[in-house]
Amino acid sequence: MGGLNVSFAFFFCVVAICEAGRQVSKRLLPHGVYRSLVGELASSMLMEIGPWGGGFGPDVILTLLFLLFLVHGATFDEVSANPTVSLQEFLVMESSFVATIAKLLVQFVGMEAAEILTMHYWAWELTDFHLIQNLMALDCSSSLHTSVYQGVFVEGICSFFFHLVGLRFQHSHPVYRVSIMAVTVTGLAYTAGPFTGAFFNPTLAYTVTFRCSGNVLQEYVQVYWLGPLTGMLTALLLYQGTIPRLFQKNLLYTQKSKYRTPKGKAVPGLKPRQGMLEKGSHSCEPSSKEGPV
């Protein structure tokens, strides 16, 4: 129980530090700089540290993951800490190219910084789990416990449902949206975690498992980068019917007008208007025969 308390204390300390840095930066920096840089940096650090806060079984890990996404959704001003979400914002024309590149770079830096912080935390060896993690860090094993093709499918499906739910509830009340996203991510992690780790976050997967033995770089890229990217594109195309940045017209759905034009019905005994006009024009023409004066 003491080790569990230490892990929860570390988790909430990181949350408090990230939140404090976010609040200070929000007051001092312009909104665009804050959202693209500092917000993504703090959020990425929290996303990286969250899964390492436990180590006491899947129940604790899933609980921490659920709390992580509740905190992330409630406090981090809609920053994503996920490259596929940033790319989705670019594709729906909610973010510029420069801002998207800046977000991707900052997400990578945030994940790396969080990993360094976690390593220093483990070096204190406050619990037996930290000692084990220090030994495992020297020769970690891959999170991919299935074939490459099945791994691509699993990560793609997780990303598909993650983005589809996000698109469906993006305009809902924050209380409902945050809760639904937290439940969705926790459910996907519980279902797909034993196969691929259920990252559906390319930067997080790179930081956690790309350096581990068991698979080559090409296989990691296929599973943890191409899989989530394909899932995001499929969800966006299915939900909107198009990708605004690439196509101007809707590829899947026809947009019907909300107003209907009434169609006239022919009335028995009533001649067409054109015929009436022609008849009237003939009646106005002078007669070819002149009567006696």
- For 67, 155, 226, 241, the CA distances from 60, given in Å and listed in that order, are 11, 22, 30, 39
The pLDDT value given to residue 56: 58
Residue 236 has pLDDT above 80, yes or no: yes
Cβ neighbors of 87 (< 8 A, separation 6 or more) are 100, 229, 232
Helix pair angle (97-123, 128-137), 10° resolution = 120
- The Cα–Cα gap between 45 and 1 comes to 26
Nearest CA to 47 out of 89, 94, 79, 90 is that of 79
The model's pLDDT over 30-55, given as tens digits with 9 standing for 90+, comes to: 776 666 666 677 677 666 655 554 45
Please give the share of the chain, as a percent, with pLDDT higher than 70: 72
In the numeric block, the tokens 């469906």 are attached to: 168
Residues making up the chain, counted from first to last: 293
The pLDDT value given to residue 116: 83
- The Cα–Cα gap between 214 and 79 comes to 33
22 — pLDDT class (breaks 50, 70, 90): confident
- The Cα–Cα gap between 107 and 45 comes to 8
The model's pLDDT over 240-282, given as tens digits with 9 standing for 90+, comes to: 999 999 998 888 888 665 455 555 555 555 555 554 444 444 4
The pLDDT value given to residue 292: 45
DSSP notation for the chain? -HHHHHHHHHHHHHHHHHHHHHHHHHHHS-HHHIIIIIHHHHHHHHHHHGGGG--S-HHHHHHHHHHHHHHHHHHSTT----HHHHHHHHHTTSS-HHHHHHHHHHHHHHHHHHHHHHHHHHHT--SHHHHHHHHHHTS-B-S--S-HHHHHHHHHHHHHHHHHHHHHTTTS-HHHHHHHHHHHHHHHHHHHHHHH-----HHHHHHHHTTSBTS-HHHHHIIIIIHHHHHHHHHHHHHHSS-TTT-SS-SS-----SS-PPPP-PPTT---HHHHHHHHHHHHSPPSSPPP-
pTM over 0.75: yes
The model's pLDDT over 108-162, given as tens digits with 9 standing for 90+, comes to: 988 888 888 877 777 777 777 667 667 666 677 888 999 999 999 999 999 999 9
Q: Indicate the residue type of 202.
A: P
Residue 91 has pLDDT above 50, yes or no: yes
- The Cα–Cα gap between 80 and 58 comes to 24
What is the chain's alpha carbon radius of gyration, rounded to the nearest angstrom?
Answer: 30
Residue 131 has which token pair? 């000692």
Report which of residues 281 and 106 the model is more confident about.
106
